[in-house]
Amino acid sequence: MNDKRIIFVCVENACRSQMAAGFARYYARQMGLAVEIASGGTRPAEQVDERAIEVMRERGIDISGERPRAISPRELKEFDYVITMGCAAEDVCPADFTGRARDWGIEDPKGKPLEVYRRVRDEIERQVKKLLKEVM
């Protein structure tokens, strides 16, 4: 069986998509899934959001070594699932994309209190678990 390829996308690739990729890698390992996980942004930030790193550490997942990166519509064609976090999906999903594209509509916590980051993290975790069960 071919490995499934999943990419999580948001504008800066500094918070929500990084958390989603972190959870996906963690739970895919636990579930023994053969999946490739990536993340990217349409206008990547310089670094991963410190508060995102902090709230993921609370769950035992370290995303501090990740770096935001740009993605192109051409690159997205290589993925079976393109998951946008609720930010400008039209910028990242080309019309001829052949996989499954979804927008999770998750609030951007940037610049908000830590409790918002935690709420966003928990919603991303629920969505990732649901997605990985579907991919199985």
CATH of the domain at 47: 3.40.50.2300
Mean pLDDT of the chain: 89
DSSP one-letter string for 46-111? SS--HHHHHHHHTTT---TT----B--HHHHTT-SEEEE-SS-GGGT--TT--SEEEE--PPP-TT
> What is the domain count for the chain?
1
Give residue 9's domain range.
4-135
> What's the rounded mean pLDDT across residues 30-41?
94
What would the pLDDT profile of 76-104 be if each residue is shown by its tens digit? Answer: 888 999 999 986 544 554 444 455 788 89
